[in-house]
Amino acid sequence: MYIGLNVHKKLSYYSMGDSKGTEVKRGRFPTTCEGLDEFASELPEGAKVAIGASTSGIFAYEYLNERGDRSEFGTPGLSQAICEEACENR
């Protein structure tokens, strides 16, 4: 499962896609510790989370990694690598 996460001051938006590139879920949640906890609790085992590069994204990246959830801070190169891996797994 691949997850893109756009983090803004008040709300964060996510999209989950399977290895075939099909979007299976999308949603939003408050950009708070509680909102991130709820989002992280629903992550499938082994999910790859790419967080869009932003000031608020730094907060989400650090918070999720402190919880022990693996996420990557999304630079354009990382986003491309994740997309390429997803395409290879089709």
Which helix or strand (DSSP H or E) is residue 61 part of? helix 55-67
What are the domain boundaries of the chain? 2-88
Name residue, tokens 């991130």.
Answer: 36
How does pLDDT run along the chain (90 residues), one tens digit per residue?
888 899 999 999 999 988 888 889 999 999 999 999 999 998 888 888 888 878 888 888 888 888 777 676 665 555 555 556 655 655
Question: In the CATH scheme, what architecture does the domain 2-88 have?
Answer: 2-Layer Sandwich (3.30)
- Closest listed residue to residue 6, CA positions, set 49, 43, 38: 49
